[in-house]
Structure 1
Amino acid sequence: MQDAKEEVRARLAIEDVIGEYVELKRAGRSFKGLSPFSGERTPSFFVSPEKNIWHDFSSNKGGDVFSFVMEAEGLDFKGALELLARKANVDLSLYQNDKARDIAAKKKRLRAANEAAAHFFQHSMLQNQHAVEYVFKKRAINRETAAAFRLGYAPEGGDMLVKYLTNKGFTRKELQDAGLTNRFGGDLFKGRMMVPLMDGAGEVIGFTGRIIRDDPKAPKYLNTPATLLYDKSWHVFGLSQAKEAMRTRDYVVVVEGNLDVVSSWQAGVKQVVATAGTAMTLHHLKTMGRLTGNIRLSFDGDKAGIAATERAIPIAEEAGVSLTIISLPDGAKDPDELIQQSVASWQAAIDTAEPVVDWILRQYSTRHDVSTAAGKRAFTTAALEVTKALKDPVEQEHYLQKIAEVSNTTLETLQRKMSTREEPDKQYKKVAHVDTSNDESRYAHHDSVLALGLVDSALHELFANTESALFVGEKRQAVAAYLRTSHGALQDTPEELQKYDEYVKILLLRADARYAGWTDTDRFHEAARLLRRIKDEHKKQQKQQLTDQLRDAEASGDETRVRELMQAIQTLNKEIHS
């Protein structure tokens, strides 16, 4: 059922599932709340959408969305999978035995077909002078960018792609299922610059084709239809190319056009993605929210772009991300056009992104005549819908005052109007009774020092002199052994520790939540202190074992053994820190 588990995991945002039990508030790239497993008053429960992991410092428990539901509902894995599958609308019967193998095999073939098509399009572009001139001269795309986005060209006539792929062993049914053929079984894309659509890992799952010849009857853009691999409501274009810059800069710019992304990436502003020619969805924002909670939206300045921005606002509230709006200067209809004029102007527009509430209030104030009673009613109703979603009372009052100024209405009147529209407080699910007196909590300090070692390469010397056997449990010993010979701050699980991927992700989340704001010196001293504690604990265990042996030697009258054991105990006493 591994494929079923991954399908359910892909369809559900971990923060949404846990958010039904815990009131979560964003804390950097993670979410934070009170542990549902203890009566703590200070939040120490963290959820990382990026790593798909949760960790509870109060009980030292953690894991993925399945382990949380198992803990919260008192279920075994099968029960948790069935519960989450219903929530994700996943039919588990499709993943049983032969059906599961069939779907996995089919997905593998479709990926291979798309990959082969991408190679074909890349090669075809280099063989066609018209395509080369369009991509490199007219669009001013350089070779590095073309390679990074794997740009290509679909030949004008015939069914060259179909012939190429069938010669490689793909059936016509596979090409149809991959979205590469038209209703007649021929090439879907002809005479177009090809832009591969890639998933977060950089694998090709579909294509966008931009026509490069003058043909008023043909659509400018042609996209892969929905397939087993590609769903436009889930796909974020450019994510694989942008994700590192998103982590580093801690924000992402969302544009409408795929070529806006390509132009921005080439200009050095790489934390830019697009919604692949479709309206913004909750899935898009959840996907981006796993890497950063700061979303800067730059849609076209026409009526359609403004409407799309409006639609994104309530979705952003539901996704739990911070949304700001980028306004392009006059004379630029989209980011690509602005970038061609001035890269500095594009970066300046990004840097001066306007808070979403300010932006929407400005839009509403231009649409309604607030000098009339009807205009005031319409403006305040729309504006209060946005303002009441704000959770911070100071921020809420700030915008209420702004609405009052624009509409020439008293603050008290607006507060009264908003109070009549208040929604009931959200009710959270009760968790099953859970015994938090578990062995894992006894070794929280082991996890803390290992977490430090994974994110701070300056601690390598400390771990090089620490035996991995001092740590309790196979997973901890494996990480300690890795740290003895490897160093360098991690972002993801290294190949050597893939067996313990979930535990490593928990450690990385632990490090981010607890030590992100510490100085290098403080982290070094904390790691040294924790390692001393672990070594002392190990020596105390050795001392207890020797003490037990000493009693046996004294009872048997073995004087030689008694002297040896007493000497060993005295040596340990000197080594153990008080």
Structure 2
Amino acid sequence: MSKVIPKRVLEDIRFRSDIVDVIGSYFNLQKAGSAFKATCPFHKEKTPSFHINPQRQIFHCFGCGKGGDVFRFVMEYEGVDFIGAIKLLAHRAGVRIEIEEGDEAGDSDKAALYKLHADVAALYQKKLLEENPSSIPKQYLLKRDLSQETVEQFQIGYAPDQWDFLINWAKETKHGNDLLEKAGLIVRRDKTSTGDDYYDRFRNRLMFPITDEQGRVIGFSGRCLDDKEKTAKYINSPETLLFKKSRILYALDKARRFIVESREAIICEGQIDVIRCHQAGFKAAVASQGTAFTEEHVRILKRYADSVVIVFDTDKAGQDATIRTVTEFMDAGMAVRAGILPEKEDPDSFIRKKGAEGFKAVIDQAVSAVVYQIRVLSKREDAKSEIGAMRISKAVLQTISHSPNAVQRAKLIQETAERLNLPATALQDELRFLLRNTRPQITAGTTGKETSAPAKEQPKEEINLCEHMGNITDHPEIGELVRKYLPTKMIQDPTCRSFIEICLESAATGRTIQDVISDKEDKSGEMQNFAARVIMTPTKITGTETSHSEAVKDIILYIWRRKLEHERTEIAKQPDSKNEERRRQITYDLKSLRKWDDGAPIIDLELSS
């Protein structure tokens, strides 16, 4: 068996290597809406055509055609192979490279775990819906004023007060206990035992499925429904092959579109706070998953936002958590504000009392990080005394020192000086002693290469289909349409055909398109370039098309018409009675293949014949 770098290590390196940060360490980037652009390092140009998409974590030059993920960029820019790029990025990210025996079991385990989590989420929700209106879980939802629409949107469910509810379900549905144990859904009674003596991890709890950025269920958080019971209020799934709590933000799959639009995220402490925000219309709200905000959480959010508003609980723990979280975001160069709620309130309770308008005022009137910190510390120290002013200013300067941006530091220094009635110059002098070293950078190399744009002409409709398929994560229904109605052998262009097959594999396995491409040993980088181009090109929805699905249906109809027209032409070259009958049938079918409702049955017949 060959030696390989484990996929989990590659995923860790990719996760820690934000493409904007990596490319930005080589040359200056310009902000362009939610993306970035620059003059291309791979060919001479005056107008920037090199674009970076932080949400997709890919780059593409519309001038020379170069494109791909962060590994491909380092390969091209540094002139190294894939292993060389891995080593450079691993060193930059502080990741230790491990070598293991090759093993394909991980991918199949992931696919099985994704399906299991989806099935269990549906089971828990079904159980909740079956409960009597007077039952404890239904009464809890009523008390919390969570609508049925919200319950369905967040897939809220109920794990009954049974030790073997899930175990019995697994027996009926032929799910093995080993898979449930890998998912953290059941626990072995005796950890030293090798038998099948298990019990359900979640019992008598309201269940909140935890989803990844693509909306796939990867874990659960269970809220205890008996406040008298001596147990943790919330229990989360343990870390598994799918669930890494330091990399998961609750509701990001639902919030990311709204975050991109506003370029600002609302950060809450818990799931109920986030759900309440979404129900009230504040759909850019997310929360960490049972842990403090980490560098990884910030790295994820930075792909979508420039700034955040932190709205944590108002107790001392919440205040301290706010200040700690502020520094994480400032380390990443993001703007941070803090929303101030009345004492003993959290977003959930406040919105229920004051409504959406009241919470909007909290967001609109959110203060800067230093104003919030001074406000908090002034209640703990006498800001008018010499020692009090020294302690507060030292703590605030520690916070400001986290910012890598000179303009942000200057603005925060000015605010601090005004609030504490101190000279800004004195604060600047103190700050100089606190500023940390700048982050490490990869040594930039030069390629000195001229690359010409690919000249190969590809069928327009097939390119359009690829552009839509690049959105398969957000629109899985288009994958189902292609899988059911369009055999990939009908795609004439080999690059388009390969890309569509990669997209279908991505949808089936739950892996990203870039991950699937990486496994294809695309040494030339052709597929990386092509994928980046079609993904970053805005998809065109024209004419009577109203959605990606409608556009894909039109393309499928076109490709079938193309196939049948070619067949009719070939038949005409060899006339006989049988061919004439087929020719007439094709002529009739071609008329039906102008509209989906008429054409879909024709496609079904063609595929079954």
TM over 0.5: yes
Tell me the distance in 2 between the aligned counterparts of 1:348 and 1:289: 25
Tell me the distance in 1 between the aligned counterparts of 2:234 and 2:214: 24
Could you list the per-position Cα deviations for residues 273-326 of structure 1 after superposition, in whole angstroms to 9, with x for gaps in the alignment?
111221011111221222222222111111111111111122112333322212
* Residue correspondence of structure 1 range 401-440 to structure 2 within 5 A: 401-423=414-436, 428-440=441-453
Q: Secondary structure at the match of 1:439?
A: coil
Rg (Cα) greater in structure: 1
Query: Is the 8 Å Cα contact of residues 254 and 273 (structure 1) preserved in structure 2?
Result: yes
- 2:269 corresponds to: 256
Identify if the C-alpha distance between structure 1 residues 480 and 353 changes in structure 2 by more than 3 Å, giving closer, same or farther.
farther
Q: Secondary structure at the match of 1:288?
A: helix
Query: Is the 8 Å Cα contact of residues 8 and 90 (structure 1) preserved in structure 2?
Result: no
Identity of aligned residues (%): 31
Identify if the C-alpha distance between structure 1 residues 232 and 53 changes in structure 2 by more than 3 Å, giving closer, same or farther.
same
Identify if the C-alpha distance between structure 1 residues 331 and 483 changes in structure 2 by more than 3 Å, giving closer, same or farther.
same
Give 1:192 deviation, angstroms: 1.0
Give 1:392 deviation, angstroms: 5.9
Could you list the per-position Cα deviations for residues 219-274 of structure 1 after superposition, in whole angstroms to 9, with x for gaps in the alignment?
22111111111111111111112222223333221111101122222222222111
Give 1:132 deviation, angstroms: 5.3
Tell me the distance in 2 between the aligned counterparts of 1:167 and 1:32: 54
Give 1:361 deviation, angstroms: 3.5
- Out of 59, 65, 68, the residue aligned to residue 63 of structure 1 is 68
Counting matched residue pairs gives 476
Identify if the C-alpha distance between structure 1 residues 399 and 34 changes in structure 2 by more than 3 Å, giving closer, same or farther.
farther
Give 1:106 deviation, angstroms: 1.6
Could you list the per-position Cα deviations for residues 341-363 of structure 1 after superposition, in whole angstroms to 9, with x for gaps in the alignment?
11221222122222223322333
Identify if the C-alpha distance between structure 1 residues 422 and 370 changes in structure 2 by more than 3 Å, giving closer, same or farther.
same
- 2:456 corresponds to: 473
Tell me the distance in 2 between the aligned counterparts of 1:183 and 1:162: 12
Identify if the C-alpha distance between structure 1 residues 369 and 30 changes in structure 2 by more than 3 Å, giving closer, same or farther.
farther
Give 1:502 deviation, angstroms: 5.7
- Out of 207, 212, 215, the residue aligned to residue 228 of structure 2 is 215
Q: Secondary structure at the match of 1:300?
A: coil
- 1:114 corresponds to: 117
- 1:21 corresponds to: 26
- 1:566 corresponds to: none
Query: Is the 8 Å Cα contact of residues 467 and 534 (structure 2) preserved in structure 1?
Result: no
Identify if the C-alpha distance between structure 1 residues 26 and 367 changes in structure 2 by more than 3 Å, giving closer, same or farther.
farther
* Residue correspondence of structure 1 range 453-532 to structure 2 within 5 A: 472-473=455-456, 477-478=458-459, 482=463, 498-499=499-500, 503=530, 505-506=532-533
- 1:181 corresponds to: 186
Q: Secondary structure at the match of 2:200?
A: coil
Query: Is the 8 Å Cα contact of residues 85 and 92 (structure 1) preserved in structure 2?
Result: no
Q: Secondary structure at the match of 1:195?
A: strand
Give 1:207 deviation, angstroms: 0.7
- 1:232 corresponds to: 245
Identify if the C-alpha distance between structure 1 residues 406 and 260 changes in structure 2 by more than 3 Å, giving closer, same or farther.
closer
- Out of 349, 363, 367, the residue aligned to residue 337 of structure 1 is 349
Identify if the C-alpha distance between structure 1 residues 111 and 131 changes in structure 2 by more than 3 Å, giving closer, same or farther.
farther
Tell me the distance in 2 between the aligned counterparts of 1:272 and 1:391: 26
Query: Is the 8 Å Cα contact of residues 53 and 65 (structure 1) preserved in structure 2?
Result: yes
- Out of 349, 372, 389, the residue aligned to residue 385 of structure 2 is 372
Query: Is the 8 Å Cα contact of residues 153 and 194 (structure 1) preserved in structure 2?
Result: yes
Moved more, 491-500 or 143-152: 491-500
Moved more, 31-40 or 251-260: 31-40
Q: TM-score, normalised by structure 2?
A: 0.69
Tell me the distance in 2 between the aligned counterparts of 1:437 and 1:74: 13
- 2:54 corresponds to: 49
Q: Match for 2:183: what amino acid?
A: A
Identify if the C-alpha distance between structure 1 residues 91 and 401 changes in structure 2 by more than 3 Å, giving closer, same or farther.
closer
Give 1:47 deviation, angstroms: 3.4
Could you list the per-position Cα deviations for residues 120-156 of structure 1 after superposition, in whole angstroms to 9, with x for gaps in the alignment?
2112112222155225422222221111111111111
Give 1:484 deviation, angstroms: 10
Higher helix share: 1
Q: Secondary structure at the match of 2:249?
A: coil
Tell me the distance in 2 between the aligned counterparts of 1:41 and 1:422: 37
Tell me the distance in 1 between the aligned counterparts of 2:227 and 2:421: 54
Query: Is the 8 Å Cα contact of residues 339 and 345 (structure 1) preserved in structure 2?
Result: yes
Tell me the distance in 2 between the aligned counterparts of 1:224 and 1:110: 13
- Out of 127, 148, 156, the residue aligned to residue 153 of structure 2 is 148
Tell me the distance in 1 between the aligned counterparts of 2:51 and 2:332: 17
Matched, 1:243 2:256: yes
**Unpaired runs of at least 5, structure 1:** 444-471, 513-578
* Residue correspondence of structure 1 range 158-173 to structure 2 within 5 A: 158-173=163-178
Could you list the per-position Cα deviations for residues 370-394 of structure 1 after superposition, in whole angstroms to 9, with x for gaps in the alignment?
4333333322322233345556656
Q: Match for 2:347: what amino acid?
A: P
Query: Is the 8 Å Cα contact of residues 249 and 287 (structure 2) preserved in structure 1?
Result: yes
Query: Is the 8 Å Cα contact of residues 467 and 535 (structure 2) preserved in structure 1?
Result: no
Tell me the distance in 1 between the aligned counterparts of 2:367 and 2:329: 15
